[in-house]
Amino acid sequence: MVRPIYLYGSEVLRENAVPADLSDKVYLENLVNDMKETLAKAEGCGLAAPQIGESVRVLIVDGRDMTDVYPYLDGFTRVMINPVVLEQSDKKIVYSEGCLSVPGIYCDVARPESMTVQYYDENLEQKTETFDKFACRMIQHEMSHLDGDLFVDHVAPIRRKIISKKLMSIAKGRVPARYSTIIK
């Protein structure tokens, strides 16, 4: 089921998400399916459960539509349940980020170049993987959502001031989006 995406200003986006209950397989299967359908409809590359109103530690990333810019993302998708960063590089890299919960705003954000993550996949199998380049960026961005952080929290103060009026418009629901949105 396609769900509305919660926008900047919604309380759920600022919560520290709780670990998903791995014993509730029906809930997790339904949540992951809803997230996949919602992400596809919104034409994004990643979605965290809080963005659809569920404050649990689940995220999905899908880089397949970005292969024209990043060919190495061909076939790259992940469902991550209860992801934990085990290690990350000291070296930072800057990419321009956007977010389905903050439509129309893009900002450069510095994040670690690579990281190793332990998580459960959608079959509830535990995995440990190392990611770099834009795959790492997508996962970091979505993991931030699980901690109540948005990419706009990590931009330079002057950039934050420049986008503040746009952020307030989003928080008031005055923003066009090509997908269903909600503010709560």
Q: Where are the alpha helices (DSSP H) in the chain?
A: 25-42, 133-146, 157-171
Could you list the active site residues?
142
Q: How do beta strands 77-88 and 92-99 pair?
A: unpaired
CA distance 4 to 181: 5
- Residue 125 DSSP code: -
CA distance 76 to 90: 25
Nearest to 138 by CA among 86, 56, 90, 72: 72
CA distance 106 to 64: 20
